[in-house]
Structure 1
Amino acid sequence: MMQTRRKKLSEWVQQLYFIGPSLFFFSLIVLIPFVMGMYYAFTNWNGVSNEVTWVGLDNFVTIFTGDENFANSFGFTVRFTITAVVLTNAVGFGLALLLTRSIRTKNALRTIFFLPNVIGGLLLGFIWQFIFIKGFSAVGDATGIGFFNLPWLGDAQTGFWGIVIVSVWQGAGYLMVIYIAGLINIPSELMEAADIDGANFVQKLKNIIIPLIMPAVTVCLFLTISNSFKVFDVVYSLTRGGPYKSTEPVTMDIYFEAFTNNRMGLGAAKALIFFLIVAAITLIQVVITKRKEVQS
């Protein structure tokens, strides 16, 4: 009995030795600030002073009854998320289908399409800000094509699509890698049998390819939904939420509320609501797509 206890204690100490440092830093950087944020969501605090007043549910009542900025920013975020998720996955999957074929330069093309994901969001936004303002304008003046002379970052509609373009350009290459990993694991015997049976590409895509890569679809949808809801840096560097807050996502509204308006309590309340909504949506998505996965 004593030897068994010592063995269990030794195993527990070994596990603590390996996971202890990462658990400590995870708690310090993620868990403790998260719990503190939940507490501040029920307070009136400006983020600077030592006076923290408990106000209960007042912040949440303010958000749901008289905060138009939060409702508008949430509407923009939902529209952006739906559009970005559909287009990023479509482009990523299309690139994966293309680059799993017998193309001589497919390895170089994979690298080229993946590179935008390596660039940070702020830097990427500033690069595309120059392209939209200077590059498109120069091309439009040279060719006379009206598409390039649109006010890409100066109008609500074109600003929305400008952000979508940059987000898709940045994220599609990363999803491409995940989809390629799923596509190359499809047994070649199934595809050959489908060819022998006379199945066309659409039939193979619907009945073989998509069902067998559903684990990759689950991962890609989860990543794009969560990242699109949390978009901040690209929007901040491109439009800063303008014009007139028409392209302001929820994350930016929370940022301005907490650090510009010095209402940290209200900003924390918005962040808590936003966290619960995103967590619920991503959980539902994972459950639904997991059920559609083919069990081997």
Structure 2
Amino acid sequence: MISMTGKSIRRWWVLFTLPTCAAFFIGFIAPFIIGVYLSFTSFTTVTDSQWVGLKNFQQAITDPEFMHALWLTVLFTVVTTVFTNIAAFFIAYMFTRAMHGANLFRSVFFLPNLIGGIVLGYIWQLLLNGVLSHWNRSITFSGVYGFWGMVMLVCWQQIGYMMVIYIAGLQTMPSDVLEAAQVDGASSRQTLFSIIIPLMMPSITVCTFLTITGGFKMFDQNLALTNGAPSNTSEMLALNIYRTFYGRIGFEGVGQAKAVVFFLIVATIAIVQNRLTTRKEVAA
């Protein structure tokens, strides 16, 4: 039998879901469709757009600064994804062992994630410039300095958040499997790589997805820390798109085309990564 609550839900579900669906369409679907259309036009406002076909995409792909920002972002994402997940996993693994003050240390590691990216960018700019001043350098001295400064900033910010996800996965791990491995004489290294990591693949999938997409979409830390200096050599993709769209008159269509290319790259990489790691979950 269906309860009164179930009957009410079946009768009025449209009334409850319609506001959410309408907000999603107005706030996401409609702007996305309009944005894709505008990427094929020359415009300054939505109402004065003129169709130009693939011209904007040709300009975007042949822009050397855009391609430099693309490869810099790919490299940045690979470095931060690997380092953040390895560090977060082993910190989580350490904090799930019996140790004094574990809860306090967890809170300390998580706190940087609560600070906004713009604020973190300016804080790390002061810190890094203070260190580099001993060699008469600054974070904007070269793109290499800016790149590694952003790597340190983002890893420091994200490790605590990924640590919480890994801790949740470690705490839900079946204890009988670990006990059986211990009885069979498995070493700590064998237990870690043959049992714990395969069982942690759902958490690894989530954390890898978050770090990859976060690396590609990084904007505010880049803006605050280096603003692309010197000469846009430390400029990431999101900042390059922003500067093209808002900083170059008449290039709004090119900036929108770059945004569409950006979306396709991130969506493709995220889908491939999710499928690869999900297959390992099934195999595990």
Common fold by TM > 0.5: yes
Q: CA deviation at 1:14?
A: 2.0
Q: Structure 1 residues 97, 150: closer, same or farther in 2, change over 3 A?
A: farther
The list of structure 1 runs, each at least 4 consecutive aligned residues, that deviate by more than 6 angstroms after superposition, is none
For 1:294 and 1:197, the matched residues in 2 are separated by 24
**Maintained 8 Å contact 1:126/1:237:** yes
Report SS of the residue matched to 2:73. helix
1:211 aligns with 2:212: no
Which residue does the alignment assign to 1:266? 254
Residue 56 of structure 2 is aligned to residue 59 of structure 1: yes
1:6 maps to none
Deviation string 1:200-251 (CA, Å, 9 cap, x unpaired) is: 2221111101110100011011111111000100000000011111111111
Structure 1 position 83 matched with structure 2 position 79: yes
1:39–1:13 distance in 2 versus 1, CA, 3 Å: farther
For residues 8 and 260 of structure 2, the distance between their equivalents in structure 1, rounded to whole angstroms, comes to 40
- 1:276 aligned partner: 264
Report the counterpart of residue 227 of structure 1 in structure 2: 214
Q: Amino acid of the residue matched to residue 49 of structure 2? A: V
TM-score norm. by structure 1 comes to 0.88
Q: Give the counterpart letter for 1:236 in structure 2.
A: L
When residues 31 and 155 of structure 1 are mapped into structure 2, their CA distance, relative to the original with a 3 A threshold, is same
Provide the secondary structure at the position in 2 that maps to 1:131. helix
Q: Distance in 2 between matches of 1:20 and 1:104?
A: 50
Runs of at least 5 residues in structure 1 that lack an aligned partner in the other structure: 1-8, 141-145
CA distance in 2, matches of 1:150, 1:63: 33
Opposite residue 286 of structure 1, the aligned amino acid is N
| Identity in percent | 42
CA change 1:63–1:13 in 2 (3 A) is farther
Counterpart CA distance in 2 for 1:183 and 1:277 is 32
Distance 1:224 1:14 in 2: 39
- Checking the alignment, whether the CA contact within 8 Å between 2:140 and 2:226 is kept in structure 1 is yes
Q: 1:13 to 1:42 in 2, by over 3 A?
A: farther
Please, which of 114, 120, 133 is the counterpart of residue 118 of structure 1?
114
Residue 198 of structure 1 is matched in structure 2 by 185
Structure 1 segment 105-144 matched on structure 2, within 5 A: 105-134=101-130, 136=131
Give the TM-score normalised by structure 2: 0.92
- Aligned pairs for 1:129-208 within 5 A: 129-134=125-130, 136=131, 151-208=138-195
The alpha-carbon deviation at position 101 of structure 1 amounts to 0.8
Residues 64-106 of structure 1: CA deviation (Å, up to 9, x unaligned)? 3x31111111011001000011011111111101110111211
Distance 1:12 1:253, change over 3 A: farther
Partner residue, 2:4: none
> Once the 2 structures are TM-superposed, how far is the Cα of residue 272 of structure 1 from its aligned partner?
0.5
**1:292 counterpart = 2:275:** no
The answer for unaligned runs of 5 or more in structure 2 is 1-6
2-structure distance, mates of 1:51, 1:58? 17
- Alignment match, 1:256: 243
The answer to whether the Cα contact below 8 Å between 2:125 and 2:139 also exists between their aligned partners in 1 is no
Match of 2:230 in 1: 243
CA-to-partner distance for each residue in 1:244-290, whole Å, 9 max, x for gaps? 11111111111011111132211111111110111011101111100
Question: Distance between the aligned counterparts of 1:217 and 1:202, measured in 2?
Answer: 18
* Secondary structure in structure 2 of the residue aligned to 1:292: helix
Find the counterpart in structure 1 of residue 28 from structure 2.
30
Give, in whole Å, the separation in 1 of the partners of 2:54 and 2:282: 45
Q: Distance in 1 between matches of 2:139 and 2:179?
A: 47
Q: Alignment partner of 2:281: what SS?
A: coil
Alignment-mate amino acid for residue 276 of structure 1 = L
Name the aligned partner's letter for residue 16 of structure 1: V
8 Å Cα contact 1:214/1:294 also seen in 2: no
Relative distance call for 1:181 and 1:243 in structure 2 (3 A) is same
Q: CA RMSD in A?
A: 2.1
Which AA in structure 2 matches 1:249? M
Residue matched to 1:143 = none
Query: Which residue number in structure 1 is paired with residue 97 of structure 2?
Result: 101
Sort the Cα spacing of 1:13 and 1:26 in 2 relative to 1 into closer, same or farther, 3 A. Answer: farther
